Amino acid sequence: MKRRIAAPGAPTIPGTAVTPRRRTSDEITAAMSRPVPSVPDQGDLVEHWHECGLLDDDEVDALGGEQQ
C-alpha cells in the first residue's frame, strides 16, 4: 500500500501524517443510497411544516407527505 504524506493543513488520519484515501464515486453513491432508520419519536418534517403554515396542501402532496 502506498502511503501519502499530507500537505500542510490537509486533513489526516488522527495521530498520523497520512491522508485518508479518496472514496470512489461508487462508494459515495452506495453510502448515500442506503436506508436510514427512523429515530423513535421523530416527527415528520413535512407534517410539521404543514402545521406551521410553511407548506400548503399541494406542496405536501408534491413532497409525498400524508394529510390528516
More confident call, 15 vs 49: 49
Tally Cβ neighbours within 10 Å of residue 55. Answer: 19
Q: Tens digits of per-residue pLDDT, 9-37?
A: 777 777 877 777 888 999 999 989 888 78
User: Long-range contacts made by residues 19-27, C-beta under 8 angstroms, separation at least 24?
Assistant: none
Separation of alpha carbons 65 and 31, rounded Å? 25
Backbone angles phi, psi at 7, to 5 degrees: -75, 155
The residues, ordered by sequence, that sit 6+ positions from 11 with a Cβ below 8 Å of its Cβ are 19, 20
pLDDT over threshold 90, residue 53: yes
Q: What is residue 62's three-state secondary structure?
A: helix
